[in-house]
Amino acid sequence: MISANDLRKGTTFVYEGDVYEIIDFQHVKPGKGAAFVRSKIRSVMSGGSKEVTFNPNDKFEEARIETREMQFLYKDGNLYYFMDPESYEQIPLEESMVEEAMKYVRESDSVTMRFYQNKPFSVAPPNFVELEVTQTEPGVAGNTATNANKPATVETGATFDVPLFVNIGDVIKIDTRSGEYLSRV
């Protein structure tokens, strides 16, 4: 059991029959009255978020989240198939659960899958990925104002802003946490 005073960003706990993760929290001590904890929480199963106020004495059951490295195999319709490289077990997930992560993932790439009570609920790509540019406009000479960017489509189909010197066929490094271009490889 954990108390509301122990809640920190990233903590997972059971609340109202669902598993939530703390997105943001603030301990408030008003001049008059009792202290409280104002939190923004997100359901790990449905993805919905809400703001909640807790009494510091409230107790919650801590949710144990398991993470496993999985390999993305292929997409079939609205299902994405992942394989556990140790047991060779294949897990299909619906597009709505993985669509954000799949902007950065190619077939046979590794991802981190999170489970609660052996039920998968999210997929995260590595923090940095290297993807090949498949479509972009050529950079125009003289168009070199500071930090000028252009859109570029990579092999996964996602589009990112890149500097003017990046061309089709270049491999670029992207930070998946922010979706920003880092460098040309």
CATH code of 81's domain: 2.40.50.140
Does 145 lie in the same domain as 104?
Answer: no
Stated as kind and residue range, the H or E segment containing 96 is: helix 95-98
Q: Do 133 and 119 sit in the same domain of this protein?
A: no
Co-location of 135 and 171 in the same domain: yes
How confident is the model at residue 43, as a pLDDT? 86
Stretches in the chain below the pLDDT threshold 50: none
Q: How far apart are CA 27 and CA 36, in angstroms?
A: 6
Last residue of a domain, one of 45, 62, 79: 62
pLDDT at residue number 45:
77
Show the domain range for 10.
Answer: 2-62
Domain-ending residue, one of 124, 148, 174: 124
Q: Do 14 and 55 sit in the same domain of this protein?
A: yes
Q: 86 and 37 share a domain?
A: no
Contact 125, 178 (CB under 8 A): no
pLDDT at position 74: 92
Total number of domains constituting the chain = 3
Q: What is the pLDDT of residues 146-164, one digit of tens each?
A: 677 889 999 999 999 998 8
In a shared domain, residues 6 and 58: yes
For residue 153, what pLDDT is reported?
Answer: 93
Q: Which of 86, 108, 124 is the last residue of a domain?
A: 124
Copy the structure tokens of residue 141.
């000479």
For residues 88 and 82, the answer to whether their CB atoms sit within 8 Å is no
Interatomic CA distance for residues 28 and 36, integer angstroms: 5
